[in-house]
Amino acid sequence: MLTMIGKRLMFAIPSLIGVVIVTFLLTRALPGDPAAYFAGPAADKVAVEQIRKKLGLDRPLIEQFFRYTIDLAHGDFGNSLTTGQPVATEIRNRLPASAELTLLGLVISIVIAIPLGVLAATRPGSWIDHLCRITTTAGVSLPVFFTGLVLVYIFYFKLGWSPAPLGRLDVFYSAPPAVTGFYLIDALIARDLETFRSAFSQLILPALTLAIFSLAPIARMTRASMLAVLSSDFVRTARASGLSPTKVIVTYAFRNAMLPVITTLSMVFSFLLGANVLVEKVFAWPGIGSYAVEALISSDFAPVQGFVLTMAVMYVLLNLTIDILYGVIDPRVRLEG
């Protein structure tokens, strides 16, 4: 297992290097001039050139890249021109908000999608099978920002069940003492149930938006994988041996059907990291997605580069976790590694 993990990490290094190069080049190719943006519309060419020189944008591209990689090797992502703060500090402060939202959305979708897919596979042609098909079709068809706006319109504007979509906490509450950065966990650690209730009420609609988006591929893959396994020879043999239907489905079929589902979970999680950007803008969520969008609008290179590199590292760690889960579920993967 350790050998397999080492190989995966070695293969990830060239990918991260490629991400650094491509991100650097793309940010420089984007339209807009950061110096002109921060100089203001009333600035003349001399003022713009002075700001460009101060930012180092007057130097050759290759020199800018080497300076950026040297700083990156020392853990320096640069400073945001918009906020004036180090990008690493901004990302570290905002990452728990995005992680809490993404993980809760993924958990909600798993809790709904996997049982739905299993029931649809074990009862083909039934009403629950048709419900699974309708749900997956709707989840794939609806854009994530549209789903968020519809939920806000129904549960906040019309019914008044949800608080205003204005961040992680209601304006009358303060953040709990920071331990993990996850407000739900930190509020429980502090035994502050009122803050926990406020944080959960603010979190449920954006998390539900992500869950609806990610539910469709998980349920569809679970159903397809279970149907394939249930028609296999070893399942028919288990049934012929007199085992109970529950034991056949849970012990034999479900475990063998999990590998494709786990692969789908890794892809869905990566999709959620991208969808987070839109959801955070809809719900005014102070995560790294909204931070990157604001930096992109203002042609602030350093936060965009830091955001993309952070997403790349998270994706590498996610793939490593999936490989470890493969080894736990199927020992043959450990032997091959």
Strand partners, 86: 79
CB 243 within 8 A of CB 140: no
Residues 65 and 103 in one domain: no
Residues 126 and 268 in one domain: yes
Residues 184 and 234 in one domain: yes
- Look up the CATH number of the domain holding residue 279: 1.10.3720.10
Considering the domain boundaries, does residue 264 fall inside one?
A: yes
Residues 178 and 41 in one domain: no
All residue ranges of the chain with pLDDT < 50 are 335
How far apart, in whole angstroms, are the C-alpha atoms of residue 228 and residue 38? Answer: 59
Residues 51 and 174 in one domain: no
Is 0.85 topped by the overall pTM? no
Residues 101 and 72 in one domain: no
Q: Alpha carbon of 124 to those of 14, 118, 161, 227: distances in Å?
A: 45, 10, 36, 9
Predicted confidence at residue 137, as pLDDT, reads 81
Q: Could you tell me which residues come within 8 angstroms of residue 98 by beta carbon, excluding any fewer than 6 positions away?
A: 276, 280, 285, 287, 288, 289
Residues 68 and 113 in one domain: no
Residues 59 and 149 in one domain: no
Domain span at 60: 34-76
Considering the domain boundaries, does residue 60 fall inside one?
A: yes
Cβ count near 219 (within 10 Å) = 29
Q: Which domain-ending residue is among 76, 109, 134?
A: 76
Residues 71 and 106 in one domain: no
Considering the domain boundaries, does residue 25 fall inside one?
A: no
For Cα atoms 134, 135, 137, give the angle at the middle one, nearest 5 degrees.
65
Number of domains in the chain: 2
Predicted confidence at residue 138, as pLDDT, reads 78
3 state DSSP class of 147: helix
For Cα atoms 149, 277, 323, give the angle at the middle one, nearest 5 degrees.
120
Cβ count near 157 (within 10 Å) = 10
Considering the domain boundaries, does residue 300 fall inside one?
A: no
pLDDT in tens, 286-324: 888 888 888 877 777 888 888 888 888 887 777 777 777
Residues 69 and 171 in one domain: no
Predicted confidence at residue 284, as pLDDT, reads 85
> Helical H runs in 231-300?
233-240, 245-247, 255-282, 288-297
Considering the domain boundaries, does residue 207 fall inside one?
A: yes
Q: Which domain-ending residue is among 50, 76, 102?
A: 76
Considering the domain boundaries, does residue 214 fall inside one?
A: yes
Residues 107 and 197 in one domain: yes
Considering the domain boundaries, does residue 2 fall inside one?
A: no
Predicted confidence at residue 191, as pLDDT, reads 87
Considering the domain boundaries, does residue 309 fall inside one?
A: no
Residues 113 and 255 in one domain: yes
248: DSSP letter: I
Predicted confidence at residue 335, as pLDDT, reads 46
